[in-house]
């Protein structure tokens, strides 16, 4: 897994709340192999019309070309558990999403792929969104060590679960951590099946 320490990048403000994973990647693209790259499916139906023409979505504005961060309103990534939503963000080049709240499964999926879900207060989200709209260059810096965001000449704190922060900083993979507990897992299994024999279906 790629490590996340600090991001100094262009950001795209999305003034949208409840950006669900069906928006992030419509279901019809999910049977495609990842090797094709999922970036072009990101927010597809908000960005492109029936003939593939641009609908003028913020992500496709010249000013946001090459953005590596997205700032949105509450409940980002709500909905389906599809990790493909994170693949679409990642393959497009997004490394951090800033919002006042995230869908739980999305946030977990994000971290497992090295993408930072940075939670800010609703007021700070509004301030960052506003700052990006008016700034000459919509740039921001996200520092995971200090848990701060610099944008539009102001500094904002963000929160993230302490474990997830460490995982991102170190690029840790869950499986490596789990393997260290192989013996405990075997012992637990034996005990579990003895105490609750119905766990193993007949």
Verify binding: residue 189, another protein, rule CB under 8 A: yes
Q: Which own/partner contact pairs does 173-182 have at CB distance under 8 Å and 24+ positions apart?
A: 173/1, 174/112
Among 10, 37, 46, 63, binds another protein (CB under 8 A): 46
Say if strands 148-151 and 116-119 run parallel, antiparallel, or are unpaired.
unpaired
Verify binding: residue 169, another protein, rule CB under 8 A: no
Verify binding: residue 192, another protein, rule CB under 8 A: yes
Measured distance CA(59)–CA(76) in Å, rounded: 16
Cβ-in-10-Å burial (0-12, 13-18, 19+) of 178 comes to exposed
Among 7, 12, 23, 152, binds another protein (CB under 8 A): 23
**What values do phi and psi take at 8, rounded to 5?**
-125, 105
Contact string (CB under 8 A) for another protein, positions 124-163, x = contact? --x----------------------------------xxx
Q: To the nearest whole angstrom, how small is the minimum distance from the Cβ of residue 78 to another protein?
A: 6
Q: To the nearest whole angstrom, how small is the minimum distance from the Cβ of residue 154 to another protein?
A: 20
Measured distance CA(159)–CA(170) in Å, rounded: 17
Residue 100 DSSP class? S
Binding site for another protein (CB under 8 A): 15-18, 20, 22-23, 26-28, 30-31, 34, 45-46, 50, 73-75, 78-84, 86-87, 101, 103-105, 108-109, 112-113, 126, 161-163, 166, 174-175, 177-179, 181, 184-185, 188-189, 192, 195-202
């Amino acid at each position: 897994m790629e490590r996340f320490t600090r991001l100094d990048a262009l950001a795209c403000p999305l003034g949208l709340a409840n950006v669900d994973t069906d928006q992030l990647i419509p279901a019809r693209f999910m049977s495609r192999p990842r090797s094709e790259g999922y970036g072009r499916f990101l927010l597809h139906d908000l960005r492109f019309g029936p003939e593939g023409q641009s609908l003028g979505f913020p992500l496709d504005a010249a000013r946001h070309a090459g953005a590596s961060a997205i700032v949105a309103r509450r409940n980002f990534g709500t909905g389906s558990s599809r990790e493909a939503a994170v693949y679409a963000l990642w393959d497009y080049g997004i490394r951090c999403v800033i919002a006042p709240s995230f869908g739980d499964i999305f946030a977990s999926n994000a971290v497992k792929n090295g993408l930072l879900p940075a939670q800010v207060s609703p007021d700070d989200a509004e301030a960052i969104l506003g700052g990006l709209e008016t700034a000459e260059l919509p740039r921001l810096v996200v520092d995971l060590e200090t848990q701060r965001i610099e944008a539009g000449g102001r500094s904002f704190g963000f929160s993230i679960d302490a474990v997830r922060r460490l995982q991102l900083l170190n690029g840790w993979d869950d499986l490596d951590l789990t393997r260290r507990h192989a013996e405990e897992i075997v012992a637990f299994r034996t005990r579990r099946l003895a105490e609750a024999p119905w766990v193993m279906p007949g």
